[in-house]
Amino acid sequence: MKRALVTGGSGGLGSCIARRLAVDGLLVYVHGHAHPDRAEAVCHSINAADGNAESVCFDVRDGGASRAALEALLERGPIQVLVNNAGVHEDAPLVSMEPDQWRRVVDVTLLGFYNVTQPLLLPMIRERWGRIISISSVAGVIGNRGQVNYAAAKAGLHGATKALALELASRGITVNAIAPGIIGGTEAEALFDADTIRRLVPMGRAGRPEEIADLVAWLVSGDSGYISGQVINVNGAMA
Protein backbone atom coordinates (compact mmCIF):
# COMPACT_ATOMS: atom_id res chain seq x y z
CA MET A 1 0.00 0.00 0.00
CA LYS A 2 1.41 3.37 -1.02
CA ARG A 3 1.53 6.13 1.58
CA ALA A 4 0.54 9.76 1.04
CA LEU A 5 1.02 12.86 3.17
CA VAL A 6 -1.36 15.78 2.69
CA THR A 7 -0.25 18.91 4.53
CA GLY A 8 -3.07 21.17 5.55
CA GLY A 9 -5.24 18.09 5.32
CA SER A 10 -7.57 19.30 8.05
CA GLY A 11 -8.92 22.16 5.87
CA GLY A 12 -11.66 22.13 3.26
CA LEU A 13 -9.54 21.46 0.18
CA GLY A 14 -6.95 19.35 1.95
CA SER A 15 -9.55 17.06 3.49
CA CYS A 16 -11.18 16.55 0.08
CA ILE A 17 -7.81 15.59 -1.39
CA ALA A 18 -7.10 13.23 1.50
CA ARG A 19 -10.47 11.50 1.09
CA ARG A 20 -9.95 11.13 -2.67
CA LEU A 21 -6.53 9.52 -2.25
CA ALA A 22 -7.91 7.16 0.37
CA VAL A 23 -10.63 6.06 -2.07
CA ASP A 24 -7.81 5.10 -4.43
CA GLY A 25 -6.34 2.80 -1.80
CA LEU A 26 -3.54 4.90 -0.32
CA LEU A 27 -2.76 5.14 3.37
CA VAL A 28 -3.16 8.87 3.96
CA TYR A 29 -1.40 10.86 6.64
CA VAL A 30 -3.64 13.86 7.28
CA HIS A 31 -1.55 16.77 8.53
CA GLY A 32 -2.86 19.48 10.79
CA HIS A 33 -1.35 22.11 13.03
CA ALA A 34 -3.67 24.75 14.48
CA HIS A 35 -6.67 22.39 14.53
CA PRO A 36 -5.53 18.83 15.34
CA ASP A 37 -9.11 17.91 16.18
CA ARG A 38 -10.11 18.61 12.59
CA ALA A 39 -7.34 16.37 11.29
CA GLU A 40 -8.59 13.61 13.57
CA ALA A 41 -12.15 14.14 12.32
CA VAL A 42 -11.01 13.80 8.71
CA CYS A 43 -9.22 10.56 9.57
CA HIS A 44 -12.28 9.25 11.36
CA SER A 45 -14.46 9.90 8.31
CA ILE A 46 -11.95 8.18 6.01
CA ASN A 47 -11.60 5.15 8.26
CA ALA A 48 -15.37 4.93 8.71
CA ALA A 49 -15.63 4.64 4.92
CA ASP A 50 -13.18 1.70 4.89
CA GLY A 51 -10.19 3.84 4.00
CA ASN A 52 -6.89 4.13 5.85
CA ALA A 53 -5.85 7.41 7.44
CA GLU A 54 -3.85 8.68 10.39
CA SER A 55 -3.35 12.22 11.64
CA VAL A 56 -0.01 13.93 12.15
CA CYS A 57 0.40 17.39 13.65
CA PHE A 58 3.32 19.82 13.43
CA ASP A 59 4.11 23.37 12.29
CA VAL A 60 5.57 23.20 8.78
CA ARG A 61 7.57 26.37 9.57
CA ASP A 62 9.47 24.53 12.30
CA GLY A 63 12.23 22.49 10.69
CA GLY A 64 13.03 20.43 13.78
CA ALA A 65 9.41 19.55 14.51
CA SER A 66 8.75 18.73 10.86
CA ARG A 67 11.76 16.44 10.57
CA ALA A 68 10.99 14.64 13.83
CA ALA A 69 7.39 13.98 12.80
CA LEU A 70 8.39 12.82 9.33
CA GLU A 71 11.18 10.56 10.56
CA ALA A 72 8.69 8.84 12.85
CA LEU A 73 6.42 8.19 9.86
CA LEU A 74 9.30 7.07 7.65
CA GLU A 75 10.30 4.42 10.18
CA ARG A 76 7.15 2.62 9.04
CA GLY A 77 7.98 2.89 5.34
CA PRO A 78 8.55 5.46 2.60
CA ILE A 79 6.00 8.13 1.79
CA GLN A 80 5.63 7.96 -1.97
CA VAL A 81 3.06 10.74 -2.45
CA LEU A 82 3.33 14.25 -1.04
CA VAL A 83 0.69 16.94 -1.44
CA ASN A 84 1.99 20.29 -0.21
CA ASN A 85 -1.33 21.94 0.53
CA ALA A 86 -0.63 23.93 3.72
CA GLY A 87 -1.06 27.67 3.21
CA VAL A 88 -2.37 30.79 4.91
CA HIS A 89 -3.70 34.23 4.02
CA GLU A 90 -2.59 37.47 5.68
CA ASP A 91 -4.08 39.95 3.22
CA ALA A 92 -3.25 43.65 3.22
CA PRO A 93 -1.96 46.24 0.72
CA LEU A 94 1.82 46.10 0.74
CA VAL A 95 2.03 49.73 1.89
CA SER A 96 0.44 48.76 5.21
CA MET A 97 1.59 45.14 5.47
CA GLU A 98 3.40 44.25 8.68
CA PRO A 99 6.61 42.17 8.60
CA ASP A 100 4.89 39.29 10.40
CA GLN A 101 2.14 39.20 7.76
CA TRP A 102 4.75 38.85 5.02
CA ARG A 103 6.86 36.35 6.92
CA ARG A 104 4.08 34.01 8.02
CA VAL A 105 2.61 33.61 4.53
CA VAL A 106 5.96 33.13 2.83
CA ASP A 107 7.25 30.78 5.53
CA VAL A 108 4.23 28.48 5.55
CA THR A 109 4.40 28.10 1.77
CA LEU A 110 8.11 28.12 0.95
CA LEU A 111 9.88 27.19 4.17
CA GLY A 112 7.11 24.63 4.64
CA PHE A 113 7.81 23.25 1.16
CA TYR A 114 11.46 22.72 2.11
CA ASN A 115 10.84 21.40 5.61
CA VAL A 116 8.33 18.78 4.45
CA THR A 117 9.65 17.85 1.01
CA GLN A 118 13.37 17.55 1.68
CA PRO A 119 13.23 14.75 4.30
CA LEU A 120 11.04 12.63 2.03
CA LEU A 121 13.26 12.77 -1.05
CA LEU A 122 15.89 10.11 -0.32
CA PRO A 123 13.27 7.46 0.56
CA MET A 124 11.41 8.33 -2.66
CA ILE A 125 14.64 8.15 -4.67
CA ARG A 126 15.40 4.71 -3.24
CA GLU A 127 11.92 3.61 -4.33
CA ARG A 128 12.51 5.16 -7.77
CA TRP A 129 8.89 6.29 -7.74
CA GLY A 130 7.18 9.29 -6.24
CA ARG A 131 4.64 12.04 -6.79
CA ILE A 132 5.07 15.53 -5.36
CA ILE A 133 2.16 17.90 -5.92
CA SER A 134 2.01 21.41 -4.52
CA ILE A 135 -1.22 23.37 -4.30
CA SER A 136 -0.60 26.90 -5.50
CA SER A 137 -3.06 29.62 -6.53
CA VAL A 138 -4.12 31.73 -9.48
CA ALA A 139 -2.68 34.61 -7.44
CA GLY A 140 0.77 33.18 -8.11
CA VAL A 141 0.06 33.29 -11.85
CA ILE A 142 -1.63 36.69 -12.35
CA GLY A 143 -1.25 38.40 -8.96
CA ASN A 144 -3.99 39.91 -6.82
CA ARG A 145 -4.41 43.21 -5.01
CA GLY A 146 -3.82 42.92 -1.30
CA GLN A 147 -1.98 39.61 -1.69
CA VAL A 148 1.57 40.55 -2.63
CA ASN A 149 2.86 38.19 0.07
CA TYR A 150 0.60 35.33 -1.02
CA ALA A 151 1.29 35.85 -4.74
CA ALA A 152 5.04 35.98 -4.11
CA ALA A 153 4.94 32.78 -2.04
CA LYS A 154 2.93 30.89 -4.64
CA ALA A 155 5.05 32.14 -7.54
CA GLY A 156 8.10 30.95 -5.60
CA LEU A 157 6.44 27.57 -5.30
CA HIS A 158 6.21 27.45 -9.11
CA GLY A 159 9.96 27.99 -9.43
CA ALA A 160 10.69 25.35 -6.80
CA THR A 161 8.41 22.91 -8.61
CA LYS A 162 10.14 23.36 -11.94
CA ALA A 163 13.65 23.14 -10.49
CA LEU A 164 12.93 20.08 -8.35
CA ALA A 165 11.27 18.36 -11.32
CA LEU A 166 14.57 18.66 -13.20
CA GLU A 167 16.53 17.25 -10.26
CA LEU A 168 14.26 14.21 -9.94
CA ALA A 169 13.30 13.54 -13.56
CA SER A 170 15.63 10.55 -13.91
CA ARG A 171 14.48 9.00 -10.63
CA GLY A 172 10.89 8.15 -11.51
CA ILE A 173 9.55 11.05 -9.43
CA THR A 174 7.28 13.70 -10.87
CA VAL A 175 6.87 17.18 -9.40
CA ASN A 176 3.94 19.40 -10.35
CA ALA A 177 1.87 22.27 -9.01
CA ILE A 178 -1.84 22.96 -9.30
CA ALA A 179 -2.95 26.60 -9.31
CA PRO A 180 -6.65 26.76 -8.39
CA GLY A 181 -8.80 29.82 -8.81
CA ILE A 182 -11.73 30.49 -6.49
CA ILE A 183 -12.72 27.18 -4.94
CA GLY A 184 -15.88 26.63 -2.93
CA GLY A 185 -15.55 25.86 0.76
CA THR A 186 -12.12 27.50 1.09
CA GLU A 187 -10.77 30.81 2.37
CA ALA A 188 -10.52 32.03 -1.22
CA GLU A 189 -14.27 31.73 -1.76
CA ALA A 190 -14.95 33.53 1.52
CA LEU A 191 -13.21 36.63 0.12
CA PHE A 192 -15.72 37.04 -2.71
CA ASP A 193 -19.49 37.32 -2.91
CA ALA A 194 -21.49 35.61 -5.67
CA ASP A 195 -21.64 38.72 -7.88
CA THR A 196 -17.88 39.19 -7.69
CA ILE A 197 -17.28 35.55 -8.56
CA ARG A 198 -19.50 35.88 -11.62
CA ARG A 199 -17.57 38.97 -12.67
CA LEU A 200 -14.10 37.54 -12.09
CA VAL A 201 -14.58 33.99 -13.35
CA PRO A 202 -15.50 33.56 -17.03
CA MET A 203 -17.32 30.32 -16.17
CA GLY A 204 -19.39 32.30 -13.67
CA ARG A 205 -18.93 30.01 -10.69
CA ALA A 206 -16.51 28.89 -8.03
CA GLY A 207 -14.76 25.59 -8.56
CA ARG A 208 -15.51 22.54 -6.45
CA PRO A 209 -12.87 21.01 -4.16
CA GLU A 210 -13.54 17.69 -5.88
CA GLU A 211 -12.32 19.17 -9.17
CA ILE A 212 -8.93 19.79 -7.59
CA ALA A 213 -8.88 16.48 -5.71
CA ASP A 214 -9.63 14.54 -8.91
CA LEU A 215 -6.68 16.20 -10.64
CA VAL A 216 -4.41 15.36 -7.71
CA ALA A 217 -5.57 11.74 -7.90
CA TRP A 218 -4.86 11.61 -11.63
CA LEU A 219 -1.37 13.08 -11.17
CA VAL A 220 -0.74 10.35 -8.60
CA SER A 221 -1.86 7.62 -10.99
CA GLY A 222 0.46 5.75 -13.31
CA ASP A 223 -1.09 7.37 -16.38
CA SER A 224 0.50 10.74 -15.57
CA GLY A 225 4.12 9.62 -15.28
CA TYR A 226 5.36 11.72 -18.23
CA ILE A 227 4.02 14.98 -16.78
CA SER A 228 6.45 16.87 -14.56
CA GLY A 229 7.58 20.41 -13.90
CA GLN A 230 4.15 21.81 -14.75
CA VAL A 231 1.92 24.44 -13.15
CA ILE A 232 -1.61 23.37 -14.02
CA ASN A 233 -4.22 26.12 -13.89
CA VAL A 234 -7.72 25.16 -12.69
CA ASN A 235 -9.60 28.42 -12.51
CA GLY A 236 -12.63 28.56 -14.82
CA ALA A 237 -10.62 30.41 -17.52
CA MET A 238 -9.43 33.24 -15.22
CA ALA A 239 -5.88 32.68 -16.50
Burial of 111 (0-12, 13-18, 19+ CB in 10 A): middle
Query: Is 150 a residue of the active site?
Result: yes
| Secondary structure element (H or E) that encloses residue 214, with its range | helix 209-220
The total number of structural domains in the chain stands at 1
Question: Looking at residues 184-197, what average pLDDT do you find?
Answer: 76
Average pLDDT, the chain: 96
Separation CA 53–CA 44 (nearest Å): 8
129 backbone dihedrals φ, ψ, rounded to 5°: -160, 135
From the list 29, 114, 150, 226, the catalytic residue is 150
Please indicate, yes or no, if residue 101 is contained in any of the structural domains: yes
Please indicate, yes or no, if residue 239 is contained in any of the structural domains: no
Judge whether 31 and 9 are in contact, CB under 8 Å: yes
What proportion of the chain, given as a percentage, has pLDDT over 70?
97
Nearest by Cα to 84 from 28, 135, 42: 135
Domain hosting 24: range is 3-234
Quick one: DSSP state of residue 96? G
CATH number of the domain residue 52 falls in: 3.40.50.720
Q: Is the pTM of this model over 0.85?
A: yes
Interval 168-181: pLDDT, tens: 999 999 999 999 99
Please indicate, yes or no, if residue 196 is contained in any of the structural domains: yes
Residue partners of 234: CB distance under 8 A and separation at least 6: 178, 179, 180, 181, 207, 211, 212, 215
Polymer length of the chain = 239
